[in-house]
Amino acid sequence: MTSTDTGRQSTAGHHEAGTPAVGAIDFGDFRRTTPIAGQFGYERGQPIDRHYIEGFLQENAPVICGHVLEIGDNTYTTRFGGEHVRRSEVLHVTSDSPSATIVADLADAPEIPPDTFDCVICTQTLQLIYDVRAAVATLHRIVRPGGVVLATFPGISQVDDPAWAPSWYWHFTPASARRLFGDVFGNPHVQVESHGNVLTAMCFLHGLASHELRRGELDIADPRFPFLITVRAIKA
């Protein structure tokens, strides 16, 4: 195999292979038009996006307290809020979820009173809501002043989920996340971060799991490849 340069030091700390010449790429296991595994990586371990989602929630664990709303289930409320959670609520969009304490459409949820929650955990949900600006307005309305919304959404993703694929409307960028939340919460109250890089994105598209990558590879946030986006927004 030939290379057009001699390789370079990656910010992951190890020496990366040089740039192969045109026609000399070694595609290896990736020379296929179907993914190595489906279902985001669950078949092989922890999905790569969950590595970043759970890291973000761990960092923000101190604000997961009091009256907490989570979408779909309360796994993260329990895991990261623990005994600091006074009351845990679960919102589901349809009435078929036994764990739901609130059935509502975030795009239009007048049944949820304003200024209710200390913290809303809204992971991997906004991509499924067509009127996403209305949903962010609802998040702002239902959190109490001083309360926090912790949101995550896909930047680069497969949509291999029969339940949600038909209503998977959006992929986001840090710019769209900043405007979506900044317009409602006010820019100074919104922190947006982009996670991942070309390798994590490629491996996630192939359904690989986080433990199949090196820690240093996962840690690199390359803004050219916003794979997973996190938002922390505080209601003033």
Ligand X SMILES: C[S@@+](CC[C@H](N)C(=O)[O-])C[C@H]1O[C@@H](n2cnc3c(N)ncnc32)[C@H](O)[C@@H]1O
**Pair of tokens at residue 128:** 């499924």
Q: Which residues pair with 105 in a beta bridge?
A: 108
Least distance from C-beta 107 to ligand X, angstroms? 5
159 versus 198: smaller Cβ distance to ligand X: 159
Instruction: Return the closest-CA partner of residue 121 out of 161, 178, 75, 164.
Output: 75
Q: Which residues pair with 9 in a beta bridge?
A: 15
C-alpha pair distances (Å), 66 with each of 55, 92, 150: 21, 20, 14
Least distance from C-beta 121 to ligand X, angstroms? 7
Helices then strands, counting H and E runs in the chain, come out as 6, 9
Least distance from C-beta 56 to ligand X, angstroms? 11
217 versus 232: smaller Cβ distance to ligand X: 232
Residue nearest to ligand X (CB): 72
- Where do contacts with ligand X occur on this chain (CB under 6 A)? 71-73, 91-93, 105-107, 123-125, 128-129, 164
β-pairing verdict for 15-16 and 8-9:
antiparallel
195 versus 217: smaller Cβ distance to ligand X: 195
100 versus 213: smaller Cβ distance to ligand X: 100
Least distance from C-beta 1 to ligand X, angstroms? 41
